[in-house]
């Protein structure tokens, strides 16, 4: 039976684990491998690792880092950053990664989604859409290159396009709520859930487990991803890797879906 997934999202910048606010001012919070080891112990549902330098710097994926992460990780691993060809995606899958995430490259070259899906299977292709709410109306623009370029395209149109082209999953990431810890954009999540049939994960805004429960209650079987909630603790945001126990997750999901 399908159930909601609760996934930590780790950002890698200059080889270190960082956290951003509004996609800006990356703050160093530790070593990625150490974080993976802790999430192993806590039996996380899945792990998302995004290299936020690779695409902006037009760099190849860091295969050595990816191999080290995959070797350590005992949960399904999704990696994104710098992937521009099916050959790169295939190489990453061969390192032991379950899913590859593409964002800017998929929007600039939509047929890449199909080409990668044909190479590794659509179940392993995740398209990440970084979005900001428009000042007027209820739509959201998709941005690329770490929120530096506005595509002036609606997230809902691009979500439908990605699904048709072969994406197996969508991650919708709120730039406005990144690091804010004020709760997910439930209106956005609900509209995306109604727009596509493939699995979706919502990222950006979670500050408490109650926020995750609210997202699941709103959208049902969905992926709830978060960064700050699982790397910071307390009002002063002390760095402390944390994650709910299996019993806590089961109870949270039970309450949300009842």
Active site residues: 130
Q: Where are the alpha helices (DSSP H) in 121-233?
A: 155-165, 186-195, 209-219, 228-231
Residue 238 buriedness (CB in 10 A; 0-12 / 13-18 / 19+): exposed
Residue 13 buriedness (CB in 10 A; 0-12 / 13-18 / 19+): middle
Taken in order 93, 200, 74, 64, the sign of the CA dihedral is positive
Neighbours of 242 (CB within 10 A): 13
- CB–CB of 224/232 below 8 Å? no
Does residue 70 come out as left (phi exceeding 0), alpha (psi in the -120 to 50 range) or beta?
alpha
Neighbours of 32 (CB within 10 A): 22
First CA to last CA distance, the chain: 15
């Amino acid at each position: 039976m399908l159930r909601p997934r609760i996934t930590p999202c780790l950002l890698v910048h200059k080889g270190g684990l960082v956290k951003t606010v509004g996609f800006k001012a990356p703050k160093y919070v530790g070593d990625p491998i150490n974080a993976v080891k802790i999430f192993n112990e806590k039996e996380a549902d899945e792990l998302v690792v995004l290299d936020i330098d690779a695409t902006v710097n037009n760099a190849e994926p860091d295969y050595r880092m990816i191999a080290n992460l995959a070797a350590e990780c005992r949960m399904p691993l999704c990696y994104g950053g710098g992937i521009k060809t099916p050959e790169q995606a295939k190489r990453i899958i061969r390192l032991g990664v379950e899913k590859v995430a593409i964002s800017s490259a998929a929007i600039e070259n939509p047929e890449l989604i199909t080409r990668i899906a044909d190479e590794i299977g659509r179940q392993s292709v995740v398209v990440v859409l970084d979005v900001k709410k428009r000042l007027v109306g209820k739509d959201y623009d998709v941005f690329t290159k770490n929120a530096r370029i506005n595509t002036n395209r609606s997230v809902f149109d691009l979500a439908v396009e990605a699904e048709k082209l072969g994406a197996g999953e969508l991650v919708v990431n709120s730039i406005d709520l990144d690091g804010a810890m004020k709760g997910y954009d439930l209106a956005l999540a609900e509209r995306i859930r109604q727009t596509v049939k493939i699995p979706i994960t919502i990222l950006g805004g979670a500050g408490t487990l109650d926020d995750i429960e609210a997202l699941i209650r709103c959208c049902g079987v969905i992926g709830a991803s978060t960064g700050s909630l699982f790397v910071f603790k307390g009002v002063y945001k002390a760095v402390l890797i944390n994650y709910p126990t299996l019993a806590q997750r089961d109870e949270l999901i039970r309450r949300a879906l009842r």
